[in-house]
A and B are shown apart, each in its own frame.
Chain A
Amino acid sequence: MNYEISLITTMAIAVMFALSLNLITGFCGQISLGHATFQGIGAYAAAMLGKAGWPFLATLPVSLVLAGLLGVIVGLASLRVRADFLAITTMGVGFLFVGIVRQQDSLGGELGISSIPDHGLGNVGFMALALLMCASVAALSVYIKRSWMGRVFNGIAEDEDTMRVLGIDVPRYKLAAFALGTALAGMSGAFYTYHLTFIGADSFGFVESITVLSMVVFGGIGSVPGVIIAAALLSVLPAWFQVIGDYKLLVYGGLLFVMMRFSPGGMAGLAARLFPTSSLPNGGKP
C-alpha cells in the first residue's frame, strides 16, 4: 500500500502546486515562469524549521506566509514592467533563487538538505492531510472563481485596459493574485519537503517551473477540474512512462506541443468540444 500512498501524496502535492499557479496564470492571466521558486521558499523554510525542532504542522503557516511575502515583493517589482516581460522577470527570479540557495552553506548549498525529520503523522495521516489541504485549495479556487474577485481576475486576464476604465485597481488585484498563489505554492513546498525528506536547489529550478505551468495549461488554463486532473496525471506520468523508457521526455514534450497546437484550451477545452452540452465555464476559451 505504501507505494499507492506515496503516489497519491505526490499527486496531492502537485495538484496543490498547480492550483496555486492557476490562481495567477489561469484566473488572473499573468504568465509566471518562476513559480517553483515559491514552492522552494516554502520547502526550505519547512526544512530549516523542521531541522530546528519545529513540528511539521507549525512549519506550514510559516512556509505559507514567507512564500506569500516574497510573492508580493516579486509582484510589486513585476508590475513595473510591461506584461510581455512578466514571464521573463519571473524566470529571472527563479534563476536568482537557485543561484542564491546554491551559494548559501546555511541552506545546504549544492548538497541540499537531507535527513528532514519525520512528520509524525504516519504515511496515511500525511496523505490524508495533503489531500485535505489539496481539497481546501480546490474549494478556495472554486470559491474565488464565484466571488467578485474571480470575476475581476477574469476581466483582467482578458482585457486589463477595460478593467481599468471600470474603476478597477488592476495592480492591486494582480498583487492579490500573486500573494495568494505564491503563498499556496509555499504551503505545497512544506509538504514536498516532508514527503521527499530531501531538497536541493535544483528541485525548484526552471524545469520545475515549466513543468507546473505545463500542468496548468494542459488541464485548461483557469479550469479548476481540468488543472486538478492534469496535475494528478502529469505528476505520476513519469512513473507510468517507465514503460516507454527512453522516449519518456520526448512524448511529454510532444504531448505538450500537440495539446497547444490542436486544443489550446487544454483538456477542459477538449472536453467542452467533445461534449458541447456539458458546460465548463471559462475552461474552454476558444
Chain B
Amino acid sequence: MLAIELVAQGLIQGSIYALVALGLTLVYGLLRILHVAHAALFTLGGYIGVLVCNASGSLALSFLIAALVAGFGGVAMFRLAYQPLLSKPPYVALIASIGLFIASEEAFRIIFGAQGMSFTNPALQQQFVLGWGLQFKLAEILVMVSTASIIGVLAWLQARTRIGIACQATVSDPQMAQSFGISLLKVRDINFFVGSALAGFAGVWVALLNNLVEPTMGSVPSYKALAIIVLGGLSSVPGTLAAALLLGVIEAFGTIYLGDILDRNAIAFAFLIAVLMVRPQGLFARS
C-alpha cells in the first residue's frame, strides 16, 4: 500500500520536525522569542553524535553526549544572548538569533569542513520487512518510537512533577508564578536545556538516517520549525507535535503528487498560509 508507506515516511520526517520544533515552542511560550539559532544546536548535536560514535563506537553514548552538549549549549545561548535582550522589542532577539545562526553555521564549516562528516560504521541500518511490501531501516522505526516515548515522558513530567508544573505556571503567568516562589531563571534554564537537548538528539537521528552531517543541515529546520510552531498555535506542546506530524505527512504526499507544481518547502508554506487564512490563530490553538 503506497498510501500507508507515504504516511509512515511522513511520520518519520514529522518526528524529526517535532523534536526540533518542541524546543522552539518551549522557548516561544516562555520568552516570546523566535529562536532561529535553535537549529544550530540541532547541527551541533549531529556533529557531536558522529564524532563521539566514530571515536567510541557506542551509539548510546553519542546520543547522550550530543543531547547534553546541545542542552548546555542552549542554556549558554539563553544566558549570554537572550537574557539581556528580554526587555527589548522582539525583533532584537530575532535578528540576534539569526546572526548567531549564520555565525554558527560558518563556525561548523570552518571547524569540521565544508564536505560534512559521516559515520565510519553507521549503526541501525538493518532492514525490517513488515509485510505488505513495507520495508524500513531500523533507524527509521526507532526515530518514531523514541520521539513518541520522549514526548510522552516529557508530557508526564510536565503534568506530574513540581518543576514541570512550575514551568507550565510560568508560561501562563510569569508574575503569578514568581509570587509563588518559582524561580523564573531556573525555569527558563530548564526549558532551554530540555528544548536544546531534544534538538541535539534529533541531530543525531538525522545523522544516522542520512549518514551525513553538514554545516548547513540546520537551515531547513530553522525555518520549517518556525512554520510548525505557528501551525501548532504557538506555545502549545500538543499542538506543535500534531502540526509537525501533519506537516511531515503532507510533505510526503505533496512531494509525490504536487511535486511538479511546488517544491517541498513551498508546499509546507502554502499549507501554512492556507491554514492561517482560515484559522488565523493556528491549527491547534485555543482561540
Contact = CB atoms under 8 A, between A and B. Distances in A.
A260 B263 contact: no
A85 B230 contact: yes
B76 interface: no
Contact of B88 (A89, A103, A250, A264): A264
9 closest Cβ pairs, A-B complex = A99-B266, A256-B99, A253-B102, A253-B103, A257-B99, A92-B269, A260-B96, A250-B106, A264-B92
A132 interface: no
Interface residues of A, number: 43
Contacts of A81: 276, 280
Interface string B211-225: 000000000000100
A260 B269 contact: no
B266 A250 contact: no
Nearest to B103: A253
A82 B135 CA distance: 43
Interface in B241-281: 260-263, 265-270, 272-273, 276-277, 280-281
A95 interface: yes
A198 interface: no
Given A95-B269, A99-B267, A250-B103, 16 more contacts: A31-B91, A77-B277, A82-B280, A88-B226, A92-B269, A93-B269, A96-B270, A96-B273, A102-B263, A103-B261, A247-B110, A249-B103, A250-B110, A253-B102, A256-B98, A260-B85
A76 B137 CA distance: 46
* B interface, over-half SS: helix
A99 B110 contact: no
B94 interface: yes
Interface in B57-104: 81, 84-85, 88-96, 98-104
Contact of A260 (B34, B99, B260, B276): B99
B234 interface: yes
B227 interface: yes
Interface string B33-63: 0100000000000000000000000000000
Interface in A162-203: none
Contacts of A125: none
Interface in A197-232: 206, 210, 213-214, 217, 221
A263 to B, nearest CB: 10
* A interface, over-half SS: helix
Given A96-B269, A98-B266, A103-B263, A82 B101 contact: no
A174 to B, nearest CB: 15
A100 interface: yes
Interface string B102-137: 111111001000000000000000000000000000
A95 B262 CA distance: 10
Nearest to B234: A84
Contacts of B93: 260
A99 B265 contact: yes
Interface in A226-251: 246-247, 249-250
A98 B269 CA distance: 11
Contacts of B268: 95
B273 A99 contact: no
Contacts of B265: 95, 98-99
Contacts of B106: 247, 249-250, 253
A23 to B, nearest CB: 15
A102 B264 CA distance: 12
- Which of B92, B102, B110, B273: most chain A Cβ within 10 A? B102
Contacts of B90: 31, 84
A254 interface: yes
A143 B40 CA distance: 42
Nearest to B235: A84
A206 B222 CA distance: 12
B110 A80 contact: no
